[in-house]
Amino acid sequence: MPDKRLPKVELPKDVRLDTIAVREGLPPSAWGENSEALFLTSSFVQPDAASAAARFANEEEAFIYSRFSNPTVTMFERRLAALEGTQACIAAASGMGAILLMGLGLLKAGDHVICSQSVFGATIMLLGREFAKFGVETSFVSQTNVAEWRRALKSNTKLLFAESPTNPLTEVCDIRALSAIAKEAGALLAVDNCFCSPALQRPVQYGADIVIHSGTKYLDGQGRVIAGALCASEKLVEEKFVPVMRSAGMSLSPFNAWVVLKGLETLSIRMQAQSARALQLASWLEEQDGVERVYYPGLKSHPQHELAMAQQSGSGAAVVSFIVDGAKKGGATLARKNAFHVIDSTRVCSITANLGDPKTTITAPRMGA
C-alpha cells in the first residue's frame, strides 16, 4: 500500500537544536536545492480525479491549495515543531492570528478562559472583548500568583493562557505549576513563548499543551515580515486547528514562511548575543540615578529571577523594561513626559513597537501595537 503521507527529513535522534534549525522541514525537490524552495503558487495540480477527491477529503496528505497547504509553509511548521519539541505546528498570518485560530478551534459559547492580566494588550482585547461577544468568558488573574489561577477555576474552564516573560514587564509564570492546575481541571495550558523562543525555553518540557508564537519577533529576527504559529500535539493541530484554517483562512503566506525559515537558522546565536547585551543594559540601568526600577529576569533583583533562570536556560532573554525617575510620584502626565523625553533623547535606537530586530528598538508601552 503506498504511503499517503508527505516525506520527512531523516535526522539523527540526538541531533542538536542548532542543526534542527537549519535541516528540519521537507526533503529537497527533484532539483536537489540546498536552500529551501519558495513555492509561490495558489494551487497545486493533482494527478487524477480520484487522487484529487481523496486529497480534498483529507484522506491523503498532499498539497492542494495554499490557503491551507503549501510546501514552504509546511517546512516552517515542521521546523518550529521540532525546535519546540511538539508533534505538530500550524502557521498563521500573525501572532494574533494564531491566538484567534486557537480560540476558534478550542472554545465555544459558555466556555471559560483564565488568562494572565499581564499579557500583551491585544491579547487581552481579543479574549476579553471580541470572544466575549460570542459567549466566551475570560477571567484575568495575576501572572505570578498561582493561587489566583486555582481560585479562578470553574467547571467550564477550558483554557489557561499565559506569556512568559510578559510584554512589557517581563513577569515570569511557573509553567509547571499552571500545567498541574490545568490538568486537574481537564483544561489546556497555552504559553506564548514569543519573548524567549525555543532557543531559550521550551514550554512543553514543563507541561504546556500549546505553544504560541509571533514569528514576527525573534523567529524572523530582522523585522521583515508578519507571522504566527501554534505548536501542539498532532491531535490538537489536525482535529481542532486545521479545520478552522481550511475555512477561515488566516494563512501564512509562503514568502513570509520562507523568510522566517531563514531567520530560524540563526535563532540560537542571535538569542544568546541579544540576551547578553540586554543583561549589560539592564545592569547599567539599575545603577542610574534617573531610573526608579528595571524589569529584567536576568537581574537578581527581578522577583522571578530564579524561576526564569530555571525555565529559560539561564538567560533573561532580550527585552528590558524600566521606569524613569518621577514616573510613579508625578502621575500619568509626568510619567508620559519623562518616558517620551528618554525615548526622544536616544541617538541610535529605532522608535518602533516591534521587537526581535537586530537594531535596538525603544518604545513606551502605550505606543505599542
**Nearest of 363, 308, 342, 315 to residue 143 by alpha carbon:** 308
Confidence of residue 325 (pLDDT cuts 50, 70, 90): confident
Same domain? For 94 and 154 the reply is yes
Domain check: are 241 and 275 in the same one?
no
Among 144-153, 154-163, 211-220, 327-336, the least confident range: 327-336
For residue 194, the domain's CATH number is 3.40.640.10
- Same domain, yes or no: 181 and 205: yes
What is the pLDDT, as a whole number, of residue 155?
97
Number of structural domains in the chain: 2
Location of C-alpha cell 518602533:
352
Residue 110 lies in a domain: yes
Could you tell me if 198 and 243 lie in one domain?
A: yes
Confidence of residue 327 (pLDDT cuts 50, 70, 90): low
Q: Percentage of the chain with pLDDT > 70?
A: 96
* Set of cell numbers at residue 44: 497545486
The verdict on 256 and 275 lying in the same domain is: no
Q: Say if residue 187's pLDDT is above 90.
A: yes
**pLDDT for the residue numbered 326:** 67
Report if residue 143 sits inside a domain: yes
Q: How far is it, in rounded angstroms, from Cα 273 to Cα 26? A: 29
**Residues 164, 281 share a domain:** no
Residues 233 and 120 placed together within one structural domain of the fold: yes
Domain at 334, CATH number: 3.90.1150.10
User: Is position 18 within any domain?
Assistant: no
Instruction: Tell me the DSSP string of 267-326.
Output: HHHHHHHHHHHHHHHHHHHHT-TTEEEEE-TTSTTSTTHHHHHHHTTT---S--EEEETT
The arithmetic mean of pLDDT across residues 285-296, rounded, is 94
pLDDT tens for 100-128 read 999 999 999 999 999 999 999 999 999 99
Range of 117's domain? 85-264
- Asked if residue 76 belongs to a domain, the reply is no
Both 167 and 179 in a single domain?
A: yes
- Show which of 264, 295, 330 is a domain's final residue: 264
Asked, for residue 168, whether it belongs to a domain, the answer is: yes
